[in-house]
A = this chain, B = another copy of it.
Amino acid sequence: MTQLETMGAAAKQAARVLMNAGAKKNEALFAIAKALRENAQTIIDANAVDIENGKAAGLTDSLLDRLKLDENRILGMADGVTQVAAMPDPIGKVLEGRTLPNGLQIEKITVPMGVIGIIYEARPNVTSDAAALCLKAGSAVILRGGKEAINSNKAIAELMRDAVEAAGLPRDCIGLVTDTSRQSATELMQLSDYLDVLIPRGGAGLIKSVVENAKVPVIETGVGNCHVYVDESADLQMAANIIFNAKTSRPSVCNAIETVLVHEAIAEKALPLMKAELDKKNVEIRGCEKTRAILGDCVVPATENDYAIEFLDYILAVKVVKDIDEALDHIAKYSTGHSESIITSDYNAANKFTAGVDSAAVYVNASTRFTDGGEFGLGAEIGISTQKLHARGPMGLNELTSMKFIIRGCGQIR
Contact = CB atoms under 8 A, between A and B. Distances in A.
A108 B392 CA distance: 10
B413 A377 contact: no
A361 B20 CA distance: 17
Contacts of A354: 406
A238 B100 contact: no
5 contacts: A238-B411, A354-B406, A362-B406, A366-B410, A375-B414
Which 6 residue pairs spanning A and B have beta carbons closest together?
Answer: A366-B409, A245-B413, A388-B402, A390-B390, A369-B414, A217-B389
Interface in A177-232: 192, 196-197, 211-212, 215, 217-219
Size class of the A contact interface (CB-based, 8 Å): 35 or more
A212, A217, A241 interface centre (most CB from chain B within 10 Å) = A217
Nearest to A345: B410
A370 B104 contact: yes
Given A361-B405, A407-B363, A409-B364, A376 B414 contact: no
A98 B390 contact: no
Contact of A376 (B245, B249, B405): B405
A373 to B, nearest CB: 11
A65 interface: no
A109 to B, nearest CB: 9
Interface of A: 16, 19-20, 98, 100, 104, 106, 108, 111, 113-114, 192, 196-197, 211-212, 215, 217-219, 235, 238, 241-242, 245-246, 249, 332, 350, 354-356, 358-367, 369-371, 375-377, 387-390, 392-393, 402-414
Contact of A409 (B363, B404, B407): B363
A100, A246, A369, A406 interface centre (most CB from chain B within 10 Å) = A406
Given A211-B192, A211-B215, A356-B20, A241 B332 contact: no
A358, A393, A403 interface centre (most CB from chain B within 10 Å) = A358
B404 A358 contact: yes
A365 B241 contact: no
Contacts of A371: 405
A413 B211 contact: no
Given A364-B407, A392-B402, 12 more contacts: A111-B358, A114-B388, A217-B218, A235-B411, A238-B411, A241-B411, A364-B406, A365-B411, A365-B412, A366-B408, A366-B413, A392-B404
Contact of A402 (B20, B369, B389, B413): B389
Given A365-B411, A411-B366, A414-B367, A405 B360 contact: yes
A412 B20 contact: no
Contacts of A356: 16, 19-20
Contact of A370 (B219, B350, B407, B411): B407
B365 A409 contact: yes
Contacts of A211: 192, 215
A114, A376, A377, A413 interface centre (most CB from chain B within 10 Å) = A413
Contacts of A355: 19-20
